[in-house]
Each structure stands twice: as C-alpha cells, then as structure tokens.
Structure 1
Amino acid sequence: MGKWKFDDNSAFVDAAIERAIRAGLEEAGGEFAAQAKRNSRVDTGDTKASIDHKLDGRSVLVGSNAENAIWEEFGTGIHAEKGDGRKTPWVYKDRKGKFHRTSGKRGTRALSKAMRSKAATAKRLIEAKLGAIK
C-alpha cells in the first residue's frame, strides 16, 4: 500500500479569502464614497470633501465627520426627516458674514442613495476579488 500525505493549506486559503474580501471592500468603499460625493450639494465643498471610507474588519464604513453632513443627509427645519425639525424660521450668518433667513433645507440623502445605487457594484467587486484567488 502507498503512503498518503495530507498537507493542510487551510490557513493559506483563509488568508487569501480574507485579503480578497478586504480588497473588494476597499474598492466598494471607494465607489460608495465617490457616488456620495457626486450626490452631494455643494456650497463651500467642505462636506463633500469630508466624505470618505475606511475598512473596519469585514466592514467598510462610509461617511463624513463634518458637522454639516448630518443636516445635508436628513434635512433641517420644516424639511427635516420625520418632521422633527424646527417649525419656525431662523436667521444665521454664513462664513462671509452675510445673514440668511431660512426655514431649513431638504436633505440630499447623498449617502443613503449612494449605498442603494452602488450595492450591486460592490457585490460584483467583492465577487471578482474572490474569483481571482489562486
């Protein structure tokens, strides 16, 4: 009878799968962030410029650390999502010192729309990376 030898390559396979998933998530995060930037309204460009992505384990986080980002996403005042915004107009001063009266602004839902519109692309990117494992 012949001798059998078993080589356990599962650690190498697991590592290759993990690298492929992370590479796919990195590309998907870039797609989501780029689409969110395209969906954003631009006044100063600060919020748009702050949209980014980062890997967090087997997840990709896409968002902004700009204070204005949450207001851009969900709206303010009478336009706030779920109707929980301020109901009376207010006045504010912009960076240039000009005063404005407003009742709020509609949310763009830039991030939410980006996630929905790029979900299939993200899936394809990750599948392609997994399919390229050798």
Structure 2
Amino acid sequence: MADTRAFEQACDNSVNQMQELLMQNMEQTLEYVAGKAKGRVGVGTGALRADTRSLGVEIVGDEVHGAVGNSLEYAIYHHQGTGIYASDGNGRKTPWVYEDPKTGEKIYTRGSKPNPYLKDTIEKEQSTISKLLGGAN
C-alpha cells in the first residue's frame, strides 16, 4: 500500500491557504463596504459614521462569513426608520412625544424615515464587492 501522508498533508495545506486567502479577501471587502457606507450615513454628531466598521470575519462550516455594522444603540433606528416610516412596516402607528436629551425640548413625532446606508452600499457596490471577494485589488 502506498504512503499517502505527503499527499494528504499537501491537500490540507492547500485548504488552509485557500481559507486564509478567502478570509483576507472578505476582510478587504468589509473595509471597502464600511468606507463607502460612511459616506451615506446621515450627519448628526458623526458618531454613527465613525462607528461604521468591519465587525469581523469567521469561517462557519465551509463558508466565510463577514459583517459590517455599528455598535451604537440607535444605529438600527437610523438604518431601518421608526414609527410610521419604519422600513418593515411594523413601526408604531400613533404619534408620541419625547424630551430631547440635549435641549430638554419636547419633541412631537410620528417617527423618522429610514436611511438604509449599509443596504444601499451593498446594492450599489455589488460589482466591486464581487471583484474584491474574488481577489481583485
């Protein structure tokens, strides 16, 4: 019987090299998407824009997963909208009043319109994203 250990090791090494390459391509793609998405974030204090970043890459089974996002509590509301404007249609249907924490002023609202800057970036940059994932610089 032939000794196949060298062949098996070469196959394992090839798989490891491919996974590393795919992870590098994904990370480069995530950085690109985050950079482009920052240009689409509405400007308030700039905190949301500054916090838009790659959330990391991982291998799950035989797939490479990556994400871009924010850690700020209000990021989801900015992206998806609130109240009658909520993008998924299940926002609050009645108006409400809240106190602005900066000014103390009472604000009457029906919600805020969505700014899906991450979704829009992915849709608009699909061609470049595909190229980056494939290894193009």
Alignment TM class, shorter chain as reference = 0.7 to 0.9
Q: Which residue in 2 is equivalent to 1:59? A: 65
Which residue identity is paired with 1:35? K
Which residue identity is paired with 2:96? W
How far apart, in 1, do the equivalents of 2:122 and 2:44 lie? 23
Contact preservation (8 Å) 2:23, 2:58 = no
Shift of 1:46: 2.0
Tell me whether 20-29 or 78-87 shows the greater mean CA deviation: 78-87
Shift of 1:42: 1.4
Evaluate the alpha carbon distance shift between residue 102 and residue 125 of structure 1 in structure 2; reply closer, same or farther with a 3 A threshold: same
How far apart, in 2, do the equivalents of 1:37 and 1:87 lie? 30
Contact preservation (8 Å) 1:28, 1:122 = yes
Shift >4 Å, 4+ stretches: none
How far apart, in 1, do the equivalents of 2:121 and 2:104 lie? 33
How far apart, in 2, do the equivalents of 1:42 and 1:92 lie? 21
Q: Which residue in 2 is equivalent to 1:31? A: 32
Shift of 1:23: 0.8
Q: Which residue in 1 is equivalent to 2:91? A: 85
1:96 matched to 2:102? The reply is yes
Shift of 1:30: 0.6
Shift of 1:10: 1.7
Identity, % of aligned positions: 27
Shift of 1:32: 1.4
Please point out which of 64, 68, 73 is paired with 2:74. Answer: 68
Contact preservation (8 Å) 1:27, 1:125 = yes
Q: Which residue in 1 is equivalent to 2:21? A: 20
Contact preservation (8 Å) 1:47, 1:64 = yes
1:113 matched to 2:120? The reply is yes
Structural RMSD (CA): 2.2
Number of aligned positions between the proteins: 126
TM-score scaled to structure 2, two decimals?
0.79
RCO higher in structure (CA 8 A, sep ≥6): 1
Unaligned runs of 5+ in 1: none
Partner of 1:39, secondary structure, is coil
TM-score scaled to structure 1, two decimals?
0.80
How far apart, in 2, do the equivalents of 1:48 and 1:115 lie? 16
Which residue identity is paired with 2:95? P
Which residue identity is paired with 2:119? S
Please point out which of 123, 130, 135 is paired with 1:128. Answer: 135
